[in-house]
Amino acid sequence: MESTRDVEAVLANKTYDPNDEHKLQNPADIPSATTTDPSNPVDIPLNLPNTSTTSDKPDPTNAPNQARNQAPPQPKQFTLSMFETHSLLGTSAHSTVHAALDLTTTPPHPYALKTLPKAHLTRLQTENPTEYQQVQRQLDMPSTFSHRNILRSYGRFEDATNIYVVLELTQKGDLYKRLQLQRQDEKNGGGGGEGMGPGFPEKEAARYIAGVAAALRYLHDDARHVMLRDLKPEHVRLGLDGEVKISGFRWAVRAPPQRRRTVCGTLDYVAPEMLKSTDAGGDGDGEYGDAVDLWALGVLVYEFLVGEPPFRDWPEVTHRRIEGLDMRVPGFVGGEAGDLIRKLLVLDPEKRLSIDEVLKHPWITKYTGSEGNRSTLQDWELVEVEDRALEGKD
């Protein structure tokens, strides 16, 4: 389910309550599911067999602390008969997602299996070609990526009635829901660590941001030229071992010249140059580049620490506040974190930090070490495991 503050809805002058932004759906509305966006599985604990594929002896071709949800190393052809389906994980207007076990592996390997009815897609292609293209983008683009911090799509197959997409299974939820739990814990007097406010502790937030930044560096590089254009907490998930996974490619686009005009995404995270583009009726130069993702990254840093986006308000007010850079970093946000926010939330996209500068920023390296400047975060996960082990000692 898309956010009620998607930019196209704002431009259509639709009315809604600003408190509805990111509102969690009542799980009772969807039996056996706690998410309604099948591009972002999985939120609920699953009673599946122990499917760990990590052996006691590390694989020298992979990083230490291999992810438990690493797919079988060789590409394979999937068929429906290979899978045993389990819990319903999510539904949308176009698809459903179930947890599934690949019974051809020992032990059975867990996946998220997305099902899209062909008849529905055929109608959608005729009745709403733009939305059909977005669905196709969600299906096609992730399968071309191979990065630890991007939700994997391992393949797809079809039968007479459906198209099936085999996705990486994540089981620790998205960061929006985790942030809401953090805020609730703070209200109940149980949160706060490190002297922070209602957001994540700095150490946790910095590791999340480092993972997102690593994914953006991969997407933005010269081999891909991909703009995400809808980076928000709902599209940042945690894998089975706690590693960051980027999802949500509805608005992602390959742009070799890295210039675009379409106004899209979710308003709280939209960069000012996008709001000023000619497609938005603005007075800008009509184009924007991948620095829109860097602006959204700055919004995430703020939100992860403060608990809500910096420009959040009624849509027309949010629009003005973004264009006027009307925001204040609270005093409880540490100096290094505040510095990163201010260097990303810059009106001139040419003056924002580059993604490499983000990964080298003192606030990132303080908590992730030199690993923050790598394309994956496998090594800092070892640090996190060691930290947890130390916490269990006197």
Give how many domains the chain has, as a whole number. Answer: 2
114 is in an annotated binding site: yes
| CA dist., res. 74 & res. 20, Å (int) | 44
C-alpha torsion 324→328→334→337, nearest 10: -20
Instruction: Give, as one character, the DSSP assignment of residue 82.
Output: G
Query: Which band of pLDDT confidence, cut at 50, 70 and 90, is reported for residue 358?
Result: very high
Does 120 reside within a domain? yes
| CA dist., res. 268 & res. 361, Å (int) | 24
Does 203 reside within a domain? yes
Q: Which pLDDT score is estimated for 183?
A: 82
Of all residues in the chain, what percent carry a pLDDT higher than 70?
69
Q: Which pLDDT score is estimated for 20?
A: 38
Instruction: Indicate whether 225 and 126 sit together in one domain.
Output: no
Look at 220 and 37; give whichever has higher pLDDT: 220
Does 316 reside within a domain? yes
CATH number at residue 322: 1.10.510.10
| CA dist., res. 39 & res. 217, Å (int) | 21
Instruction: Indicate whether 118 and 259 sit together in one domain.
Output: no
Query: Which band of pLDDT confidence, cut at 50, 70 and 90, is reported for residue 50?
Result: very low
**Catalytic one among 43, 102, 174, 230?**
230
Task: Quote the Cα angle for 382-249-372, to 5°.
Answer: 25
- Of 136, 151, 167, which residue sits at a domain end? 167
pLDDT digits (tens, 9 = 90+) for 82-136: 999 999 988 888 999 999 999 999 999 999 999 999 999 999 999 999 899 989 9
Instruction: Indicate whether 146 and 190 sit together in one domain.
Output: no
| CA dist., res. 35 & res. 57, Å (int) | 36
Query: Which band of pLDDT confidence, cut at 50, 70 and 90, is reported for residue 285?
Result: low
Mean pLDDT of 351-367: 96
Residue 387 has pLDDT above 60, yes or no: no
Helix 335-344 and helix 291-306: axis angle, to 10°? 150
Look at 49 and 342; give whichever has higher pLDDT: 342
Q: What are phi and psi of 100, to 5 degrees?
A: -150, 150
Instruction: Give, as one character, the DSSP assignment of residue 42.
Output: -
Does 10 reside within a domain? no
CATH number at residue 88: 3.30.200.20
Instruction: Indicate whether 215 and 256 sit together in one domain.
Output: yes
Q: Which pLDDT score is estimated for 138?
A: 86
pLDDT digits (tens, 9 = 90+) for 334-353: 999 999 999 999 999 999 99
Judge whether 241 counts as a catalytic residue.
Answer: no
* Structural domain boundaries enclosing 327: 175-378
Residue 4 has pLDDT above 50, yes or no: no
DSSP letter string, 220-278: HSTTT-EE-----GGGEEE-TTS-EEE---SS-EE-TT--B----SBGGG--HHHHTSG
CA distances from 346 to 7, 208, 313, 340 (A): 20, 21, 19, 11
